[in-house]
Amino acid sequence: MVIGGELDLASGPEFEQALEEIARSPVEQLVIDLRELDFMDSTGLSIIVKVHQRFDDDGREVCLVRGPAQVQRLLDLTGVADRLRVVDSPE
């Protein structure tokens, strides 16, 4: 899943709904590509943490593709980057 633009209070519900549909499917690994994201706030961060927890509870994995500096800084400062697998490319 590639997300772009801004992930914040305004766009969060749409992103969360898309993730909810994916979480209901039998997919074993969800890759969220953050490279096209211009901005992410705590709303986006919270949504990612929730989907990670849901997948983890089911024995599945969420993987993030490293985003731009602002996005990566948020993940690093909050410790989320330590809890989730973060890679440089979706491959």
pLDDT in tens, 77-87: 999 999 899 99
Strands of 61-65's sheet, edge to edge? 2-7, 29-40, 61-65, 85-87
Alpha helices (H) along 3-85: 12-23, 42-57, 69-77, 80-83
Assign 3-state DSSP to the chain and report helix, strand, coil percentages, each to 5: 45, 30, 25
Residues 6+ apart with CB under 8 A from 21: none
Instruction: List pLDDT tens digits, range 15-72.
Output: 999 999 999 999 999 999 999 999 999 999 999 999 999 999 999 999 999 999 999 9
pLDDT of residue 90: 83
Question: Does residue 91 register a pLDDT over 90?
Answer: no
Q: Does position 12 have pLDDT exceeding 90, yes or no?
A: yes
